[in-house]
């Protein structure tokens, strides 16, 4: 498994390189000049030219990319156009917010989606199955931005149960930290839980028709015992696959959620940088998010081997 992990990490290098080329090229296609954006109403032709030279924006695009890539390989992600701050430190300051939001959303996704799928798959064709399918369909159809706004209007502004936004570090107050992340986590988790629930139902139904389930019934085991002791462990591989993919999608979905709930995370940093044409920040943030996505996939593959020895690489 160690050798397999090393091989997967080696394969991630060309993927990250391709991602860096793509995001670098796309940012150059966005209309607007970052030098003009930074100077604002004070922009003059001389000032814009001087700032473009300071940012190396007057160089050919290929030369700009090689300069940035060479520095990134050495661990230097450059400096922010706006405040001239080290981008590496900016990313490290905001990364814990996004990681905690994603982790809590993944936990909510599993706690909602897996029981929903088990309930539907264990009672196929019944009222619980139809209700679970309806809930799943509604959940898949709800966009994150709309759900976030509705939760703020209902649970925060309407009932006053939870804060509508803001951030409290976990080290400062664990309780307040979790309270402030409740609505963002639910917003990020609902649609992913609906997807996971539908997949769990399909995996459970597929496993229910296998011979070892019929054998367990012949031995006199109850349906609950069969479902949790035999069906769920054998349906875990596809469930884990989808959950791993959903965690990766949450890293991207965090951009919208962090803006709605004013969380100082990596997603909000990325969106602000896009609006400001802050090329180095966008490139670095997207590269970090892509690396985390690949890391999640690697961890998922390793967990396959732990759950099912037949999937272990030889």
Which of 303, 240, 301 has its CA nearest to residue 8? 301
Mean pLDDT along residues 87-100: 88
Residue pair 266/254 in contact by the 8 Å Cβ criterion: yes
pLDDT in tens, 263-278: 888 888 888 888 777 8
- pLDDT mean over 195-224: 80
Contact (Cβ atoms closer than 8 angstroms) between residue 33 and residue 277: yes
Average pLDDT, the chain: 81
Whether the CB-CB separation of 148 and 254 falls below 8 Å is answered with no
The answer to whether the beta carbons of residues 55 and 81 sit under 8 Å apart is: yes
The model's confidence at residue 230, banded by pLDDT at 50, 70 and 90, is confident
pLDDT of res. 276: 77
- Residue pointed to by tokens 């003059």: 44
Task: With beta carbons less than 8 A apart as the criterion, state whether 136 and 198 touch.
Answer: yes
| pLDDT for the residue numbered 198 | 85
Query: DSSP secondary structure string, 208-240?
Result: HTSHHHHHHHHTT--HHHHIIIIIHHHTHHHHH
Residue 47 CA to residue 68 CA, distance in Å, equals 23
How far is the C-alpha of 37 from the C-alpha of 158, rounded, in Å? 39
Greatest extent of the chain over all pairs of C-alpha atoms, in Å: 86
pTM of the model: 0.82
pLDDT tops 70 at residue 302: yes
Instruction: Yes or no: say if 114 and 266 are a contact pair by the CB < 8 Å rule.
Output: no
Q: Is 82 exposed, middle or buried (0-12, 13-18, 19+ CB in 10 A)?
A: middle
Whether residue 282 contacts residue 268, with contact meaning beta carbons closer than 8 Å, is answered with no
Instruction: Enter the tokens of residue 12.
Output: 């991630």
pLDDT band at residue 2 under the 50/70/90 scheme? low
34-69 confidence digits (pLDDT tens): 777 777 766 777 777 887 787 777 778 888 888 888
Q: How long is the chain?
A: 314
Look at residue 73 in the predicted model and tell me its pLDDT.
81
Within 10 angstroms of residue 274's Cβ, the number of other Cβ atoms is 17
Asked if the model's pLDDT at residue 311 lies above 70, the reply is no
User: 258 versus 127: which is more confidently predicted?
Assistant: 258
Percentage of the chain exceeding pLDDT 90: 4
Class of domain 97-262: mainly alpha
């Amino acid at each position: 498994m160690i050798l397999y992990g090393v091989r997967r990490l080696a394969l991630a290098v060309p993927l990250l390189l391709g991602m860096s080329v793509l995001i670098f090229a796309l940012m150059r296609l966005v209309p607007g000049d970052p030098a003009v954006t930074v100077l604002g109403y004070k922009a003059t032709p001389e000032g814009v030219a001087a700032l473009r030279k300071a940012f190396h924006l007057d160089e050919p695009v290929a030369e700009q990319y090689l300069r940035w890539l060479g520095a990134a390989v050495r661990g230097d992600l450059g400096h922010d156009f706006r405040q001239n701050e080290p981008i590496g430190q900016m990313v490290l300051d905001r990364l814990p917010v996004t990681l905690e939001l994603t982790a809590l959303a993944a936990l909510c996704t599993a706690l909602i989606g897996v029981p929903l799928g088990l309930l539907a798959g264990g009672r196929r064709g019944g009222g619980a199955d139809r209700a679970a399918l309806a809930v799943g369909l509604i959940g898949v159809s709800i966009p994150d931005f709309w759900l976030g706004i509705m939760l703020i209007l209902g649970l925060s502004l309407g009932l006053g149960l939870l804060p509508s936004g803001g951030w409290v570090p976990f080290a400062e107050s664990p309780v307040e930290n979790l309270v402030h992340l409740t609505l963002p986590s639910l917003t990020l988790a609902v649609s992913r839980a609906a997807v996971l629930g539908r997949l769990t139902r399909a995996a459970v139904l597929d496993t229910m028709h296998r011979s070892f389930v019929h054998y367990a019934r012949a031995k006199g085991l109850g349906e609950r015992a069969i479902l949790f002791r035999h069906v769920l462990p054998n349906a875990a591989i596809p469930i884990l696959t989808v959950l791993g993919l959903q965690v990766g999608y949450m890293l991207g979905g965090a951009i919208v959620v962090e803006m709605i709930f004013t969380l100082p995370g990596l997603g909000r940093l990325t969106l602000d940088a896009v609006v400001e044409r802050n090329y180095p920040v966008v490139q670095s943030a997207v590269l970090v998010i892509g690396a985390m996505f690949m890391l999640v996939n690697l961890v998922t593959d390793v967990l396959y081997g732990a759950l099912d020895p037949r999937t272990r690489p030889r």
